[in-house]
Amino acid sequence: MAYVPTNPGLFVVLGQINTPAIDQAIKTHFPNESYALQPGQWLISAPGKTTKEISDQLGISAEPFIGSAIIISVGNYFGVAAPQIWEWIAAKAGALRV
């Protein structure tokens, strides 16, 4: 038996340049599957997508090249945050369970 890592479908987007345009792209492509943490930082739920696909879809690494950001796939998480953030993560992670 081999270990096959799974993509949980949760991503963090850390905007670097032109974050207002990235914010608009996230609202356009992931209107019900994103959570703005603070300016320039978002959570995205996109089961089955890769970080590259998210980047291309937002225009970070493909036309129309709207800005720059780092996209990170979340495998696990821990921290202290507002309850609504944990509720959003729990709802999206729960929806991803097979």
Domain total in the chain: 1
The C-alpha atoms of residue 40 and residue 42 are separated, in whole angstroms, by 7
Residue 85 belongs to what domain range? Answer: 10-96
Give 61's DSSP letter.
S
pLDDT reading at 74 higher than 70:
yes
1 found inside a domain: no
Percentage of the chain exceeding pLDDT 70:
87
2 found inside a domain: no
pTM of structure = 0.86
86 found inside a domain: yes
35 found inside a domain: yes
24 found inside a domain: yes
- The Cα angle at residue 88 between residues 29 and 17, in degrees rounded to 5: 45
83 found inside a domain: yes
Rounded average pLDDT over 64-82: 93
50 found inside a domain: yes
H-state helical runs in 1-98: 19-29, 51-58, 83-96
Q: Collapsing DSSP states into helix, strand and coil, what is residue 84? A: helix
Tell me which residue of 3, 4, 5, 2 sits closest to 74, measured CA to CA: 5
Query: For 43-72, how does the pLDDT look when each residue is reduced to its tens digit (9 = 90+)?
Result: 999 999 999 999 999 999 999 999 999 999
pLDDT for the residue numbered 98:
39
